[in-house]
Every structure is written in C-alpha cells, then in structure tokens.
Amino acid sequence: MSSKINEVAPDVFRLGNDLFNWYLIKDGKRFTLVDSGLPAYWSQLTTTLKALNGSITDIEAILLTHAHLDHVGLAERVRRASGATIYLHEADRRMARRGGAQIPPVGLLINVWRRHPFRILSTAVLRNVFFGPSIKQFVPLQQDQVQLDVPGKPTVLFTPGHTSGSVSFWLPDRNVLLAGDALVTINMLTGKNPAPQLTPRNTGTDRNQSIASLTAFEPLGKAVLLTGHGEPWTGDMGEAVALARADAGEN
C-alpha cells in the first residue's frame, strides 16, 4: 500500500495498489470518494487527504460504482467519520447490506491456481476484505444521465451487467470516466493485456448486459478512463468500446 500522491487526471487521485483502484476527486476544499477500497486502506486515505490540505471531514460524498466487497470496504467507516452521503444504485442494496460478508466471484475462485487471481484474492484477504461493515444508509441512484450535486459534479451513467446496479461516473469538465468494473484495463486472470476490456466470465451478474451497457460510453469522445482494476487509459471511448467488444467475443 502506497501513500504516494498519484494524480491521474486534473484533481483526480488514484488510491489502492496495483490490484485494486479507488479514487478521490478534489473540488476546491471539498472531496468526493469514488469507491472505497479495502478496510485496511484507511491510513492511505487520511494521508492522501492531508497531503491535499484536507481531512476526512472534507469528504462530502461517497459514490459507489457497485457493491462488490472490494469496492465498499471503507464506505461505511468514512460515512460515520465524515458525515458524507453514500450514493449507490438501488439494485445493489442487498449486496451493500452484506458489506464484506460476500463470497468472491466464482470466476476468480476457480482460477485461484493462477498467479494473478491468487494475488488478487490473497491481497484482498490480507487487507481485511471480509471485515468491511455493511452499508447502513445511502441515497439510491435510480436515474440515468443525472448530474449529482456533489464535489466534481459527476454525471451518472447506468451500466448494469457486472452487477445489477453497476453505474459509472462521468466528469464532463475534466473528460474523465470512472467506470468501476463496467470496464477494466487489465486481464484479471493473467495480469496482462493492458487495454479496455470486460472482467472475466463468471465475475459478474450478466455478461450480455455488460456488453450492451458499453453503448453508454461510445458518445463520450476522448477521455481518461479510470477503472477498478488496471492502469489509466487515455483515448477515444468509441475505440475503448470496440476493444472491449472484440475481447468479449474471444474470451
């Protein structure tokens, strides 16, 4: 776990490590958290905020792209400490209530013999993935293309498939797309192929729906793509969608 400040787009900062990403948006002296990593990353968050002349109480919103256990880890703790509002799609409510008490995706479990899935699962366990508290309060996201009145002014894009309630967040003034796991930029079974793609089979709810949801990204033009897994990718989102669709047809 690194405490180094990693600005991946204007006033957008990447947290986590080389396996798990989550992000902090700075808007003046106010902050929005997008996803919330694993429970053991609390000190990384507070150190990053301090370096940005902020504190935990300056976080006003926590936007969850979906409620898988590696994305909700710190959400409830941050809410309690800061008074921030959590936003999550209504369709992921039941999963959010379980917090860290979730079974990892079958697609990773059956591939745990491979080096990269083993690293993902073992790192998550060592970072207390199963101890994330359940989310007690949140504002349900139910509408597509709505701009939220929170720091960064993100627009909600409904992109179900990875989970029934998966959403992405678009920052139009910065040309930044925070896609959660609707797109990733690494093959999560091999740790290779650094390009926009879907997560592996059996790691989401509905793969066909995941492919269909990619249409939400095509009109965005050139953007910085930030995902839950993999390095930032910059390019035309039409190209990103084409790469992901081609990869989905092969894998």
Please report the DSSP string for 54-120 in residue order: --GGGEEEEE-S---TTTSTTHHHHHHHH-PEEEEEGGGHHHHHHTT--PPPHHHHTTTTSHHHHHH
Does residue 142 register a pLDDT over 90?
no
pLDDT score for 68: 96
Across the range 170-195, mean pLDDT stands at 96
Across the range 88-116, mean pLDDT stands at 93
pLDDT digits (tens, 9 = 90+) for 202-236: 999 999 999 999 999 999 999 999 999 999 999 99
Does residue 240 register a pLDDT over 70?
yes
Does residue 199 register a pLDDT over 60?
yes
Across the range 236-249, mean pLDDT stands at 93
Does residue 100 register a pLDDT over 90?
no
Residues 6+ apart with CB under 8 A from 72: 35, 36, 64, 96, 99, 100, 132, 135
User: In the structure, what pLDDT confidence band is assigned to residue 1 with cuts at 50, 70 and 90?
Assistant: very low
Output the pTM of the full model.
0.96
Calculate what percentage of the chain has a pLDDT beyond 90: 91
What does the mean pLDDT of the chain come to? Answer: 94
Does residue 143 register a pLDDT over 90?
no
Q: Domains of the chain by range and CATH? A: 7-250 (3.60.15.10)
